[in-house]
């Protein structure tokens, strides 16, 4: 939401959204110091919850150095060193979106550092997978890195940005699979519903892409309409857009939804 305007909060509240979970995000440019990340973590743990609350929305967040900025291993070490001081804040769910962007050796090293930190503090993980032609390779590298750490419980990890050629490998490995919805690229609403119809609803969820490019904060409600158009029941729709994310996120004791 740091890249969005207040009207987006109003629209999401009007559409019936109950909560927002914001991953640590690329700022549109590479930050040059750990202090910049410190200020950003303060923004998403202090300011954004207050801005969302004005519209009756609960705001939660994830912390990390984003994969786009993970090529600089020394900067990543400095950023990871400051993350623990934010972990006790009431809206922090875990680490995310950690992962790979170009599948480089440095990115993989930083991913492993994040996984170690998550294991040490028993944190939920939201993992990013590449958006380019290396998605399958990056997804396998991510799965392997997670499996190689004995402190990680796959039921507490969601591997995000799955597409038709990676969703099965994520689910087969025991992780949650996240479908990130864009209006025209990557995973559209219709493609997401295709995957639901192919793989069912177990350990599968959808999330709205909200970033600097062409993205729609209301992608989840729009996909609910697509499910309804295809004949999915109200219970099936509720499972995908509400119950599944609630079940996963409730593994963090801080996750509490506002009472209707």
Model confidence at 248: pLDDT above 80: yes
Query: Mean pLDDT throughout 208-236?
Result: 91
Average pLDDT for the chain: 94
pLDDT digits (tens, 9 = 90+) for 22-34: 999 888 888 989 9
Q: How many CB atoms lie within 10 A of CB 174?
A: 14
Model confidence at 182: pLDDT above 90: no
Compute CA distances 90 → 51, 93, 99, whole Å: 16, 8, 24
Question: Omega of the bond prior to 97 within 30 degrees of 0, cis?
Answer: yes
pLDDT digits (tens, 9 = 90+) for 93-121: 999 999 999 999 999 999 999 999 999 99
Per the confidence metrics, is the pTM higher than 0.85? yes
CATH number 3.20.20.140 is the correct assignment for the domain at 6-249: yes
Q: How far apart are CA 176 and CA 167, in angstroms?
A: 9
Q: How far apart are CA 160 and CA 65, in angstroms?
A: 16
Domain boundaries, the chain: 6-249
Q: How far apart are CA 45 and CA 194, in angstroms?
A: 35
Model confidence at 213: pLDDT above 80: no
Compute CA distances 201 → 179, 192, 198, 208, 231, whole Å: 12, 11, 9, 17, 15
Report the candidate in 88, 127, 118, 91 with the shortest Cα–Cα distance to residue 207: 127
Which pLDDT value is given to residue 70? 94
Q: How many CB atoms lie within 10 A of CB 117?
A: 21
């Amino acid at each position: 939401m740091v890249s969005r305007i207040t009207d987006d909060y109003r629209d999401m509240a009007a559409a019936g959204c109950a909560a927002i979970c914001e991953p640590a995000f690329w700022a549109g440019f590479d930050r040059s110091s750990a202090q910049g990340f410190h200020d950003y973590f303060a923004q998403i743990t202090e300011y954004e919850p207050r801005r969302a609350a004005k519209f009756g929305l609960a705001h939660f967040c994830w912390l990390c150095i984003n994969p786009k900025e993970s090529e600089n291993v020394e900067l990543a070490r400095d950023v990871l060193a400051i993350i623990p001081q934010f972990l006790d804040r009431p809206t922090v769910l875990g680490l995310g979106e950690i992962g790979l962007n170009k599948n480089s050796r440095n990115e993989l090293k930083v991913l492993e550092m994040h996984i170690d930190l998550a294991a040490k503090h028993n944190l939920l993980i939201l993992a990013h997978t590449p958006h380019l032609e290396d998605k399958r390779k990056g997804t396998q590298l991510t799965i392997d890195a997670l499996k190689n750490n004995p402190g990680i419980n796959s039921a507490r990890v969601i591997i995000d940005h799955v597409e038709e050629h990676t969703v099965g490998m994520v689910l087969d490995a025991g992780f949650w699979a996240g479908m990130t919805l864009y209006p025209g690229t990557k995973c559209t609403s219709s493609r997401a519903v295709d995957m639901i119809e192919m793989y069912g609803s177990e350990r599968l969820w959808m999330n709205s892409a909200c970033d600097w490019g062409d993205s729609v904060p209301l992608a989840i409600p729009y996909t609910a309409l697509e499910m309804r158009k295809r004949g999915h029941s109200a219970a099936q729709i509720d499972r995908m857009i509400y119950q599944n994310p609630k079940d996963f996120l409730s593994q963090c004791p801080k996750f509490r939804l506002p009472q209707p």
